[in-house]
Amino acid sequence: MDRITQQRLGDPSDLDPGLTVTSVAASSPGSLRVVFSDGHESEFEESELLREAALPPGDHDAPSLQLWDARLARFPKFRWSAAPSEGELAGWVEDFLRFGFIILQGVPSEPGQVLKVGAQFGFVRETNFGALFDVRSTPQASDLAYTSVHLDPHTDNPYRTPVPGIQLLHCLINETTGGLSTLVDGFAVAEGLRREEPAAFKILSETSVRFRYQDPTTELTASATPIELDATGALRCIHFSPRLDFVPLLPFERLSAYYAARRCFDQRLRGDRYLIEFLLSTGDLVMFDNCRLLHGRTGFNPAEGLRHLQGCYIDIDGPRSLHRVMRRSTNGASAQRGQ
Ligand SMILES: O=C(O)CCC(=O)C(=O)O
């Protein structure tokens, strides 16, 4: 093991498969001396071995997810600052990891500001739409987001590999009476489906559908199950965009079952039980996990005035890394104080 990088210098596959531990003895308080059958001896911290052995797979050190529905009483909303204190930033990140979104208020309504907020949490992910994209109603739009129509809850860019992890939308101006933002906790909806309609849940987690995007210079396509699970059966990512999915040719019965399941999921995503609706006013910014939450908006009338948001994507692991690094400095400070 390299002491500085904490990375292994040797490959475990090169060890003798018959290698065993021949003795373990306490060498000093809290330390163990382990002798192996090839004669190698090593010193281990007892607490480190126990901590490592107890780790469950996945994001064990992130705050637990708090699944929510339309009854969500307190929106995770904060006053934005260009130079937040460590405590403020920790609060933003923790609520983001718990609820899958946060709303930041008081972000200066200047073009490009969304990139500065994105950079506070991680690395901006550029796509064919640019590092930053303008969400406003335009003629000849390349995406329905750039019109004034109502958008049902969807995850962004399911045709991209990997999908953008986190999306930020910053309101520069909204002079219309419509254009309300909507969010749904896709994980809460999927867990509800797993409990109440297990056959629908199963088919949506086993049937790959194709998503496609094309414009004059770009053609992207990717396949994914609408509900993606990890090896343990836990939810990993929702891939759902009612305007972009193409279902493969399947035996009739399976296709009918798939469509029934899709309808059931979609009705729950759009229904009053799970959906929250709110107005993004000038200076408000919403940041959400594009693997867990679905977003949309109500339609608006551009004749009433301007509605202009700017958006960007950042990688999914930025806030998770930030959370660990901040905990590391808190733990370090406690250790230094002898706690
Ligand atoms: O206009 C909005 O509020 C959302 C637009 C949207 O869905 C998107 O940019 O992905």
pLDDT single digits (tens) 180-234: 999 999 999 999 999 999 999 999 999 999 999 998 999 999 999 999 999 999 9
Type of residue found at 128: N
Pocket probe mutation, ligand 1, options 136, 151, 290, max atoms within 8 Å of Cβ:
151
Cα–Cα distance list, 221 to 18, 124, 131, 156, 210 (Å): 47, 22, 20, 13, 7
Per-residue confidence (pLDDT) for residue 331, from 0 to 100:
66
- Which atom of ligand 1 is nearest to 297's Cα? 3
Taking the model in full, what pTM does it have? 0.89
Which sign, positive or negative, has the C-alpha torsion 10, 16, 18, 23?
negative
Pocket probe mutation, ligand 1, options 127, 167, 169, 306, max atoms within 8 Å of Cβ:
169
Average pLDDT, the chain: 93
Whether 286 lines ligand 1, by a CB cut-off of 6 Å, is no
Whether 307 lines ligand 1, by a CB cut-off of 6 Å, is no
Q: Provide the residue-wise pLDDT of the chain in tens; the chain has 339 residues.
A: 888 888 888 888 888 889 999 999 999 889 999 999 999 999 999 988 888 887 776 677 789 999 999 999 999 999 999 999 999 999 999 999 999 999 999 999 999 999 999 999 999 999 999 999 999 988 878 788 888 999 999 999 999 999 999 999 999 999 999 999 999 999 999 999 999 999 999 999 999 999 999 989 999 999 999 999 999 999 999 999 998 999 989 999 999 999 999 999 999 999 999 999 999 999 999 999 999 999 999 999 999 999 999 999 999 999 999 999 998 877 655 444 434
Tracing tokens 């090169």 back to the chain, one arrives at 14
Local structure of 339: helix, strand or coil: coil
Which sign, positive or negative, has the C-alpha torsion 245, 248, 249, 251?
negative
Whether 152 lines ligand 1, by a CB cut-off of 6 Å, is no
Cα–Cα distance list, 266 to 78, 122, 153, 166, 274 (Å): 31, 31, 9, 22, 11
Local structure of 265: helix, strand or coil: helix
Give distance in angstroms: CA of 105 to centre of ligand 1: 18
Tokens representing 40? 């190698």
Per-residue confidence (pLDDT) for residue 306, from 0 to 100:
93
Give distance in angstroms: CA of 151 to centre of ligand 1: 8
- Which atom of ligand 1 is nearest to 156's Cα? 10
The answer to whether 49 and 32 have CB atoms below 8 angstroms apart is yes
- Which atom of ligand 1 is nearest to 167's Cα? 10
Whether 181 lines ligand 1, by a CB cut-off of 6 Å, is yes
Q: How many Å from the N-terminal Cα to the C-terminal Cα in the chain?
A: 29
Q: What does DSSP assign to residue 128? A: T
Whether 320 lines ligand 1, by a CB cut-off of 6 Å, is no
Local structure of 215: helix, strand or coil: strand
Q: Give nearest CA residue, ligand 1 atom 6.
A: 145
Per-residue confidence (pLDDT) for residue 112, from 0 to 100:
98
Q: Give nearest CA residue, ligand 1 atom 8.
A: 145
Give distance in angstroms: CA of 297 to centre of ligand 1: 7
Q: What does DSSP assign to residue 18? A: T
List, for residues 170-187, the tens digit of each pLDDT value.
999 999 999 999 999 999
Task: Tell me how far apart the alpha carbons of residues 91 and 81 are, in angstroms, rounded to a whole number.
Answer: 13
Per-residue confidence (pLDDT) for residue 336, from 0 to 100:
46
Give distance in angstroms: CA of 169 to centre of ligand 1: 8
Contacts of 148 (CB under 8 A, 6+ apart): 137, 179, 299, 300, 301, 302, 307
